[in-house]
Amino acid sequence: MTTALSAPVIWWVNNASFVFCHEEVRLLADPWLFGTVFADSWELLVESKFRAEDFDQVSHIWFSHDHPDHFSVPTLSAIPEEKRPRLPVLYQKTLDGKVVRRCRDLGFQVRELDPANSTPLGRSVRISCGPVDLLDSWLLVEAGGFRVLNLNDCVVQTRERAAAVACLTGPVDVVISQFSYANWMSNPEDVEGRIRAADECLETIRLCCELFSPRWYIPSSAFIKFSHAENVYMNDEMVRLSSLAEFVSRDCGVTPVVLAPDDRWIVGTTWDNAGAIRLYDSALDRPPARLHRGSPVTLEELVGLSRLHLHRLHGKCAFGVLRLAPLLSLGRYLPTTTLHVRDLGVFLSFDVNRGLRTIPEPSEGPDISLSSDSLARALQYEWGDHDLFASGRFSVSPTRPLRFFDAFRLNAYTNAGYRIDYPFVLRWLLGRGPTRAKRGDRVA
């Protein structure tokens, strides 16, 4: 029987980040220590206590995916340059290789993880990493007789998705996962929509507890506060840690372990959640110290970004694929969408062939209403639509809530390294293409 003395320790850092400690291994996951992300849209719910000098105690860093609340370049840049070559980064194998290249450019060694095999770390720790959809990945850590599964914010809220991961991992002792919504969920007036979203988060936890059979559950990946004038309303129905702990214990039959920054839990031992719950619930009750606001982007600049966006997209597609979209039945998958750019007071349309065009106010209303700087980011980056969805800085038509994001469907694939050729389109139309998280899923 494993004793407490030989058990691993989970040293909590913040949000989705912790250090898994066992013997000589100190594996740091998803460090985001400071600052805002998604264009000043989020801030950490509470301040980190982990500092740059604490990286001296770390043996490896693992990243789940490239969203900035998990892969924080400012945090990595805070590590002294002379220490980086001695601190290996672990990351899933991907087609695009962007994270690997970025880490190597910063001076880190990188080891890409093969999802088909487990990887030894040190004398007595083994890890397995598996992809979910096109973006995220989970990590299973085995040490000291315990199996700890970090799901972070992998989209596993359906039985099919969760079961697919459970088939690879088997039962575990500890599950670590997202516990509240952390991207756009509803327009400001739709409070019920946010309540439903919070309830769905709890149901996902129940599903994971059922399929992975853990004894302990650690909440993660939602210790954030919406911090922009355009999204602050979404803080109102986020899952409170007091409610979460009660739900996990009462409805899931699993022991909750709520950890505050710098807490260290010996896996398998009794833990008092009271202090961490008070800290987080009190922080959620306080308004953000500062509400951020964006700077306007001119219509001319937006049109220019639209042209660059289309040039990038068409460059990753076979000749004629997008031009023939209507004949290939892609029109219903890549619709023309209408926008209201609030701060400029203009209405626009967008599609993958003509880009942005000025239009009269649509009689049925626009598909989306947003600020010019939010639209600029959606156009400027290949992952810009994901960035916008996570930021939550927009409102949508109640009858066409995701039409704008449907117009950007291909970006998820090109961002992941796929080329959009005719065989790809055929597989996609037949439902046999690579999977990706839907924009309605909780992707953060």
Report the CATH number that the domain containing residue 117 is assigned in CATH: 3.60.15.10
Q: Average the pLDDT over 165-179 and give the result.
A: 96
pLDDT over 70 (residue 443): no
Percent of the chain scoring above 70 in pLDDT: 95
Q: Which residue has the higher pLDDT, 245 or 329?
A: 245
Which residues, in sequence order, are bridge partners of residue 224?
44
Mark whether 124 and 237 lie in a shared domain: yes
Q: Which amino acid is at 161?
A: R
Residue 394's DSSP bridge partners are 370
- Return the closest-CA partner of residue 152 out of 65, 216, 58: 65
Report CA dihedral (33, 37, 41, 47) to the nearest 10 degrees: 0
Among 222, 254, 285, the domain boundary falls at 285
199 and 94 share a domain? yes
Question: What's the confidence (pLDDT) of residue 201?
Answer: 97
Q: Does pLDDT of 257 surpass 50?
A: yes
For 276-318, what is each residue's pLDDT tens digit? 999 999 999 998 888 999 999 999 999 999 999 999 999 999 9
pLDDT digits (tens, 9 = 90+) for 33-68: 999 999 999 999 999 999 989 999 999 999 999 999
Q: What's the confidence (pLDDT) of residue 437?
A: 42
149 lies in the same domain as 194: yes
The two counts, helices (H) then strands (E), for the chain are 12, 21
Is position 322 within any domain?
yes
Joined together, the tokens standing for residue 393 give: 């800085």
Mean of the pLDDT values across residues 430-435?
A: 74
User: How many domains does the chain fold into?
Assistant: 2
Phi, psi of 23 (to 5 degrees): 50, -125
**pTM of the full predicted structure?**
0.94
Domain final position from 259, 285, 311? 285
SS (H, E, C) 297-366: CCHHHHHHHHHHHHHHHHHCECCCCCCCCCCCCCCCCCCCEEEEECCCCEEEEEECCCEEEEECCCCCCC
Q: How far is CA 43 from CA 38, 320, 412, in A?
A: 9, 43, 25
Residue 434 belongs to a domain: no
Give me the residue label for tokens 């004398």.
Answer: 123
376 and 242 share one domain: no
Domain check: are 164 and 234 in the same one? yes
Asked if the structure places residue 444 within a domain, the reply is: no
Q: Are residues 267 and 119 in the same domain?
A: yes
Predicted local distance difference test score (pLDDT) of residue 427? 85
Cα 123 to its chain centre, rounded Å, is 32
Show the domain range for 244.
4-285
319 and 410, same structural domain? yes
**Under a CB-based contact definition with an 8 Å cutoff, are residues 137 and 154 in contact?**
yes
Residues 322 and 400 in one domain: yes
Q: For 309-360, write each residue's pLDDT tens digit.
A: 999 999 999 988 888 776 665 667 789 999 999 999 999 999 999 999 999 9
DSSP 178: E
Same domain, 31 and 131: yes
Mean pLDDT of 224-231: 97
What pLDDT, on a 0 to 100 scale, did the predictor assign at position 243?
Answer: 98
- Following DSSP, what letter does each residue of 382-411 receive, concatenated? TTHHHHHHHHT-EEEBTTBTTHHHHTTHHH
- CA–CA separation, 320 vs 371, rounded Å? 32
Crossing angle of the two packed helices 384-391 and 372-380, in degrees rounded to 10: 140
Q: Return d(Cα 259, Cα 438) in angstroms, integer.
A: 30
Is residue 228 within 8 A of residue 290, CB to CB? The reply is no
Domain assignment present for residue 291? The answer is no
Return the CATH number at 406: 3.30.1050
